[in-house]
Amino acid sequence: MSSLNALLHKELRENIRNFKMYWIPIVFVIFGILEPISNHFLPEIMKSVGNLPEGADLVWPEFRGEDIFVSLMGQYQLIGILVIILAFMGSISGERKTGTATLLYVRPMSFSQYFLSKWIVVNAIVLASMWLGFFAAWYYIQILFNSVAAGEVFAFLGTYSLWLVFAVTVVLAFSACMSTGGAAGLSILVLLVFQVIDGILGTYWTVSPWKLSTYASNVFGASDGQSAYWMSVGLTAILIIVLVFFGMYMAKKNAAKTLV
Amino acid sequence: MSELANIPWNLILPILVLQLILAVVALIDVIRNQRTNGPFIMWIFIILLVNIVGPILYFIFGRKQS
């Protein structure tokens, strides 16, 4: 247990030193603030820079606070996931390449604890950033739109958190499994391209991790298909556990690839 | 000037402050360790001139992991 503690400390210190602890929350919060503001002032922005023809009379849809949460989630689905992939694609493969791993692997440490320490710290950073971003958005939504029931917001954020944990686990497992470039490519395929595929062909099935974001936004409306929701949650949890064990196994197997 | 006064500064100020923090942290890091992928002068300009995205690009691609 104490070696897990030491590894956690090492991870924390590393993420402070390479500034990921600072810039990732700031980026999420900036997007969280921008989304309600730009939606609120959209009619005025379009009027001043939109190049609308003379006399054009557009009727803007009346946004509710809930819609802003969903559209912010849409931003995070692309930009947030991209930030997660790019920031953490090298967290294990990069250590193998730069030689940090040599210093680590000569010590008696278990690879499961090594992988777990990374998994815990990265998840903490990502989830804290995401929650901070949504709380910042919530504050602005209260001011600019209507107040949203707290219970719905927490149900929404909880569901979305599970999807982000899945995303982080995918990135780390691929990082343990192959080189940094390969990890980035495959993570983008799994997290972004599959999302699109699921969006297009997804009407044929109801249970998949990629549907979690849709289910999260359903919290705000009439929710139907409760069983499909819980099955997706269960499937995602199982996939996360499988990927964690896969990552531990690959981290150990690829230890020999470390450059000295 | 009246257009400037019309901008709801109290709403936008937090974004500007966060952008500033992001840029300053990136700048301090560039100037302090100067070992970047590509010339570090180029990164200084990217951080200063490209809003929000500039510092992010630096942190992702510009920093050399020691």
Model ipTM value: 0.88
Other beta carbons within 10 angstroms of residue A43's beta carbon come to: 13
**Closest chain A residue to B16, measured at CA:** A30
Which amino acid belongs to residue A113?
A: Q
Q: What is the pLDDT of residue A1?
A: 63
Q: What is the pLDDT of residue A108?
A: 77
Q: What is the pLDDT of residue B66?
A: 55
- Name the 3-class secondary structure at B4: helix
The verdict on A140 touching B (C-beta cutoff 8 Å) is yes
| Mutation site, B10, B17, B22, B24, interface A, largest A CB count within 10 A | B22
Q: What is the pLDDT of residue A82?
A: 93
Query: DSSP string spanning B5-65?
Result: HHS-HHHHHHHHHHHHHHHHHHHHHHHHH--BSS-HHHHHHHHHHSTTHHHHHIIIIIBPP
The verdict on A23 touching B (C-beta cutoff 8 Å) is yes
Q: What is the pLDDT of residue A17?
A: 86
Q: What is the pLDDT of residue A53?
A: 72
**CA separation (Å) from A106 to A2, A173, A215?**
17, 22, 45
Q: What is the pLDDT of residue B10?
A: 83
Spatial contact of A72 and A79, defined as CB atoms under 8 Å apart: no
**Closest chain B residue to A91, measured at CA:** B65
Spatial contact of B19 and B40, defined as CB atoms under 8 Å apart: no
Q: What is the pLDDT of residue A84?
A: 93
Q: What is the pLDDT of residue A222?
A: 60
| Least CB–CB distance from A23: residue in B14, B15, B55 | B55
Its domain, for residue A36, covers 2-257
The verdict on A30 touching B (C-beta cutoff 8 Å) is yes
Min distance A78 CA to chain B CA atoms (Å): 14
Q: What is the CA radius of gyration of chain A?
A: 21
Structure tokens at A100: 């940090």
Domain total for chain A? 1
Contact B52 A30 (CB under 8 A): yes
- Count of A–B CB contacts within 8 Å? 48
| Nearest-angstrom CA–CA distance, A138 and A23 | 21
pLDDT band, very low/low/confident/very high, at B65 (cuts 50, 70, 90): low
Q: What is the pLDDT of residue A150?
A: 87
A222 CB-near residues (< 8 Å, 6+ apart) = none
All residues of chain B having their beta carbon less than 8 Å from the beta carbon of residue A87 are: 59-60
Contact A20 B59 (CB under 8 A): yes
Query: Which chain B residues have any C-beta within 8 angstroms of a chain A C-beta?
Result: 11-12, 14-15, 18-19, 21-22, 25-26, 29, 52, 55-56, 59-60, 63, 65-66
All residues of chain A having their beta carbon less than 8 Å from the beta carbon of residue B59 are: 18-20, 23, 87
Each residue's pLDDT expressed in tens, for chain A with a length of 260 residues: 678 888 899 889 988 888 889 999 999 999 999 999 988 888 777 777 767 777 776 777 778 888 899 999 999 999 999 999 999 998 888 888 887 777 777 777 788 888 999 999 999 999 999 999 999 999 999 988 888 888 889 989 999 999 999 999 999 999 998 888 888 999 999 999 998 888 888 778 778 888 888 888 888 776 666 788 888 899 999 999 999 999 999 888 888 777 76
pLDDT digits (tens, 9 = 90+) for B17-61: 999 999 999 999 888 877 888 888 888 999 999 888 899 999 888
Contact B56 A98 (CB under 8 A): no
Question: φ, ψ for residue B36 (rounded to 5)?
Answer: -125, 165
